[in-house]
Structure formats: structure tokens, C-alpha cells
Amino acid sequence: MRYQKILTELFINNRNSFNSKMKKNTISILSSNDEMPTNADDLMGFAQNNDLFYLSGIDQEETVLLIYPDAYKKENREILFIKETNDFIKRWEGNKLTKQEASEISGIKNVKWLHEFEKTLQLFAFEADGFYLGHNEHIKRVTANMQTQQDRMIQWCKEKYPLHEYHRVAKITRELRPIKSDLEVALIQKAANIGIEGFERVLRTCKPNCKEYELEAELTYTLVKNGATRHAFKPIVANGINACSLHYNTNDSICKDGDLILIDFGICYANYNSDTTRCIPVNGKFSERQKEVYNAVLYCLKEGSKLLTVGKNHAEYEKEMAKLVEEQLLKLGLLTHEGIENQDPDYPAYKKYFMHGTAHHLGLDVHDVGLYSENLKEGMVLTCEPGIYIEEENLGIRLENDYLITIDGPINLTKEMPIEIEEIEALMAES
């Protein structure tokens, strides 16, 4: 693996917490993600199923985790099944995990080859009353029209054991994963630190007439150099009007003198993610209008992030954040009091210039699992990302930091990433 070994206690503690939530005499089965094809004989980069990783730390394809806390024999309460390697695989793909290595990573003593899974499960299935099975239940899931390894496992289990009770792994992990341990916060912080270094490279590289993808390349270089797994998502490097398209990421336009560039990017380190956004002037100097709008967004970020407190209702937070942006739009002359008084309550006037939410859970997923109907709790990590988009001025500004929620208030994990106008201009002048 590229990243430094994670302390095994993280996965042991996660399993202990998970086990305590399981119904009596049930078995949990978690399987790895598929390797997804491109064309011919090529594959996309492998990304592990995050619930499986959360409970085992195993970052390899063709892996199954079986948890049976009420098994009669202690050695059968946790079993890890991994891909059995051979000389052919070693020659063409390189080394795979040995049983000993998988045990050292996960803290699971009983490790078997994957082909032993079906026979092993049958030994326990008729003693157990039910199964917990994994599935991608994210509110924005993108696997709706494809069959995944999780889908196949559900289908296989229900065909083989139709009279057992079935339960959802996601119902437990959506409760556990939003609260980050110190070890998890440290991994998110590591991802953020790599992002800070990458952004500073961007500041030194940006010049009029460079291509957006040249700045993306600086981010890519930095994450690879520091042992990160991948980009947390395809970076957005959006010059001028491109910044008014929220998910623009073709990154193939010329960065024009006088424009601002919006850079929304994240680093995935050891499967944990950062997510940050900054805006910089192509020529190294903000115009007066750019400063005016930028400082309005920065004000909303600074004041809005203070709202991320223990016990805060998420919907109320978003309303208060929208109010902050609305006030700034009035000061910028983009809205009028009369327009607000006569606005459609179902589509407030501010939505012309600010049309997205500003806080999401962050962790193993960039939009990490968690219920937004629940109030904020200590240990959660969330983004804060207000923005103002003025299409008629070819200007889109969004600023985003990552915050750990604590009883004493939010802690900015990305505070070292330059954000003040003077700071950005000074660093760009050095290059």
C-alpha cells in the first residue's frame, strides 16, 4: 500500500462498536467492491467498499468479512476471506496479501482463502437466525442501474437461505461512521495537509494563458508524491464563467488574464478524504470587484463555520447560512429588499446566485454517510462551503474548509491552506 500502516486498533474498535449494534445470533457479511472495466483488458483503479474497509482495513479486491459475535467457537466470531494468490497472479499483477499480512492489518486472527467462504458460511448459517448484508444506500448513490458485488451477495444469500431474517449493514454504519475517532481525524488531517501543499504549488504555477489542466497536474503530482491513494473526486479547476457550473471538471480551458479560477479538490489518503475550495486570480492580483465578492463569501465562511456546533440542527444551520449569503448579496447590490419581500417562498431570490447546500459529512466518502435529520455531534467532520455565482459577470466564487465538531466549537482542519486575499497575492508574487 502507498500509505503508512494504520494502527490495527482502529479496525478492532470499529468492529467492537459494530458488533454491539447487531441483533442477537446474526451474521454480518461484507464484500469488497468490484474491479470496474474500461475497455478491452483494462480496469479502472480499484476502490474498496468503505464499510468493509471501516471494519477490516483490507484494501484489496475479492475480500469478504464475516462477523458472527455469537458463534460457539471464539475463532469463528470474525473470519476474513481473501484472494488466494499463485505464481501466475504474482507474475502478472504482483504480490497479494498473505494470510499473515491480512491478519496484521485487520487484527483478525482467522483468515481463510476466498474459495472457502461458501463452505464456512454453511457451517454457521443454520445456527444463526439472520444476516446483515451490505448495500450502497447513500442518498446520492450512483449504482442504481448496475449490479454490484453487494447485489450479487444479497441475491445469493436469499436464494440459499430464504427463511432467515435479513438486516442492513448500512443502518449500523450510518450511525457509527459519522463520529470519527482520533485515528480517523488524523488520517483526514493528513489528506488535508497534502491538499495544502498541492494548493501552494498551484499558487506558484498559475500564470495567464496556462491551461486549467496544468494546475490540476500540480495537485496530482503532490498527492502521488505524498503517497495518497487518488483524488477524492475529479478536481474542478474552473476559470471565469466555468466556475458558475458547479460540477465543471473538464479542466481544458485557458486561464485568462483578469479572470478568477475556482479550484475545488480533495485528497484521498488511506481511503479518508479532504474536500477544499479556493479561488485565485490568474494574474496574481484581485480586481476591486473580485475582492468585493470574494470577501463577501469569505465572511460567510468565517461566520457560517461558527454555526457548526454540537446539537445544531442541520436544516436550521443551512437556513442560517442562506441568510448570511442573502445579506451579502444585498450589500453587493445583487438583491434588493423589495425583491426579497416579493420573492417566491419556494424559490427565494438568493438562489439565483447561491443554489447549493454548504455542509456535508466528510470521511471515507467525500459525501460521507450520516443522517441529516440528526443534530450535529462531537466527533463529526463536516465541510463548510458558501458561494456566490454571478454568471453575467463571468464570476463564480466558492470557499470551503473542513471542520471537526467539538464540544468547544469547530476546529478547522484546513486552516493552513491560504485563504486571505493578501496571503494569496503575496504567495503568487513570489513565483
Q: What is the mean pLDDT of residues 306-333?
A: 97
- Is the pLDDT score of 88 beyond 90? no
C-alpha count within 13 angstroms, C-beta hemisphere, residue 336: 3
Last residue of one domain, picked from the residues 158, 175, 192:
175
Q: What is the mean pLDDT of residues 306-316?
A: 97
Last residue of one domain, picked from the residues 108, 140, 175:
175
Q: What is the mean pLDDT of residues 333-343?
A: 94
Q: Are residues 336 and 206 in the same domain?
A: yes
What's the mean pLDDT when you consider all of the chain? 95
Q: How far, in Å, CA of 262 to CA of 101, rounded?
A: 43
Residue 326: inside a domain, yes or no? yes
In the chain, what percentage of residues exceed pLDDT 70? 99
Q: Are residues 249 and 376 in the same domain?
A: yes
Residue 276: inside a domain, yes or no? yes
Q: Are residues 225 and 85 in the same domain?
A: no
DSSP string, 192-215: HHHHHHHHHHHHHH--TT-BHHHH
- Is the pLDDT score of 24 beyond 70? yes
Residue in this structure with the C-alpha cell 487484527, named with its chain if needed? 107
Residue in this structure with the C-alpha cell 458547479, named with its chain if needed? 246
Q: Dump pLDDT digits (tens) for 235-253.
A: 999 999 999 999 999 999 9
pLDDT at residue 147, rounded to an integer:
83
Residue 361: inside a domain, yes or no? yes
Under a CB-based contact definition with an 8 Å cutoff, are residues 247 and 257 in contact? no
Residue 230: inside a domain, yes or no? yes
Q: Are residues 111 and 67 in the same domain?
A: yes
Last residue of one domain, picked from the residues 153, 175, 197:
175
- Looking up residue 394, the CATH number of its domain turns out to be 3.90.230.10
Q: Dump pLDDT digits (tens) for 133-156.
A: 998 877 766 665 678 889 999 999
Residue 1: inside a domain, yes or no? no
Q: pTM for the full model?
A: 0.96
- Looking up residue 168, the CATH number of its domain turns out to be 3.40.350.10
pLDDT at residue 119, rounded to an integer:
96
Residue 287: inside a domain, yes or no? yes
Q: Are residues 212 and 346 in the same domain?
A: yes
Residue 2: inside a domain, yes or no? no
Per-residue DSSP letter, 82: E
Q: Are residues 242 and 170 in the same domain?
A: no
Q: Are residues 20 and 129 in the same domain?
A: yes
Q: Are residues 201 and 109 in the same domain?
A: no
Residue 245: inside a domain, yes or no? yes
pLDDT at residue 142, rounded to an integer:
67
- Is the pLDDT score of 217 beyond 90? yes
Look at the chain and report how many structural domains it folds into.
2
Q: How far apart are the first and last CA of the chain?
A: 34
Q: Are residues 98 and 186 in the same domain?
A: no
Q: Are residues 230 and 138 in the same domain?
A: no
Q: Dump pLDDT digits (tens) for 370-415.
A: 999 999 999 999 999 999 999 999 999 999 999 999 999 999 999 9
Q: Which domain holds residue 187?
A: 182-430
Q: Are residues 70 and 188 in the same domain?
A: no
| Strands (DSSP E) found in 356-424 | 381-384, 387-390, 395-398, 401-404, 411-412
Q: Are residues 153 and 24 in the same domain?
A: yes
